[in-house]
Structure 1
């Protein structure tokens, strides 16, 4: 990477970091781009060149949280339904428990009545990717005969909802709520067991042992 490109990326990262701090602390509406520029120690011209609107800057924050550390949605091959669901569920749990994710959701919830695009953005760039990927995987298992005929969108929504209901929503509402790694693993495993009990084909090989 050349020097100029490295400087550009460092400034962009500083802008996103400053905006994240201000949006989470003071809210989306009360945070101006000029203030973000001052906090990031860049010129307003530099900020507007990279992020021409506040919505574009918020989008960068959402993308950062939902793809943190290069994590992407896993698309396993069909054949081992239990192992694949554990893998997908574990990835979803890891993202939901990323430091700062609850602050992102609190900001979206607080501001979405005035700026509904923020809620849509967080859903489209976040959960929708997991939901669509899981639906695609479940369809492949249906074709392989390991999943009974069903509305895969419903099954996928139920699966992700069971995980978020145990590990994320209490964290969002209760400031001192903490789950250990083993408790998080158990929450994912129970979601897997429930989906398999409801939708796995009787002929599917779904061993319960880890």
Structure 2
């Protein structure tokens, strides 16, 4: 199984190729077998490493799954560079929103999400793990961005964390739901249309009051 999305991201800092090799194998095994059925033996075989080497880098299956999800969600780290906000607020939100949409709607990410959802009832910690590594991190970075924009008078956002959640919902609409139900794979045109409309609606909702002319 290939990892077209993950291969486009910068690799995590590491002094050894082994952790990345193990994560690639874990991606394959977890998505094929699910968290519950996957074994460290199977992951070691897929990675072509000994169990001793595997456990030297990851002490448990849960730690390995956490690392795999964190690796898949590294795109959220890009949002940290958004603060303080630039002068062109709309352009910044279009860029950040476009990055998030294309990440969330990518087939690789959808597979990871479905895998977590399928296992969440038996392993509730997996849902928290994925939220903290992905959406939770993205929400925190966006909230920081909106608070800074409000401080500079570019927006009027009383609750930055709520605004971060609303921004995601505005640009995403039903695209993720339709993808998960197998109804539609969003086209680039559909993604752009949702992005433009969502960003413009958000900016109208949280526009800073006009400064009166003397």
TM class by smaller structure? 0.7 to 0.9
Asked if residue 92 in structure 1 is aligned to residue 109 in structure 2, the reply is no
Other-structure match for 2:9: none
Other-structure match for 1:139: 147
Unaligned stretches of 5+ residues in structure 2: 1-13
2:118 pairs, out of 110, 118, 140, with 110
Other-structure match for 1:207: none
**Separation (CA, whole Å) in 1 of partners of 2:107 and 2:68:** 13
Asked if residue 81 in structure 1 is aligned to residue 126 in structure 2, the reply is no
Farther-moved stretch of structure 1 (11-20 vs 186-195): 11-20
**Separation (CA, whole Å) in 1 of partners of 2:61 and 2:73:** 19
**Separation (CA, whole Å) in 2 of partners of 1:181 and 1:172:** 17
**Separation (CA, whole Å) in 2 of partners of 1:183 and 1:48:** 44
Asked if residue 196 in structure 1 is aligned to residue 203 in structure 2, the reply is yes
Q: Is this contact kept in 1: 2:147–2:157, CA < 8 A?
A: no
Q: Is this contact kept in 1: 2:172–2:194, CA < 8 A?
A: no
Task: State the Cα RMSD in Å.
Answer: 2.1
TM-score (norm 2): 0.83
SS at match of 1:29: helix
Farther-moved stretch of structure 1 (40-49 vs 94-103): 94-103
Moved over 4 A (4+): none
Please state how far the C-alpha of 1:71 moved relative to its aligned partner. 6.4
1:156 pairs, out of 164, 167, 172, with 164
Q: Is this contact kept in 2: 1:82–1:192, CA < 8 A?
A: yes
Please state how far the C-alpha of 1:196 moved relative to its aligned partner. 1.2
Count of aligned residue pairs for this structure pair:
196
SS at match of 1:63: helix
Please state how far the C-alpha of 1:120 moved relative to its aligned partner. 0.8
TM-score (norm 1): 0.84
Asked if residue 101 in structure 1 is aligned to residue 109 in structure 2, the reply is yes
Q: Is this contact kept in 2: 1:146–1:201, CA < 8 A?
A: yes
Q: Is this contact kept in 2: 1:146–1:203, CA < 8 A?
A: no
**Separation (CA, whole Å) in 2 of partners of 1:171 and 1:122:** 19
SS at match of 1:72: helix
**Separation (CA, whole Å) in 1 of partners of 2:27 and 2:157:** 43
Q: Is this contact kept in 2: 1:159–1:195, CA < 8 A?
A: yes
SS at match of 1:17: helix
Q: Is this contact kept in 1: 2:77–2:138, CA < 8 A?
A: no
Farther-moved stretch of structure 1 (77-86 vs 19-28): 77-86
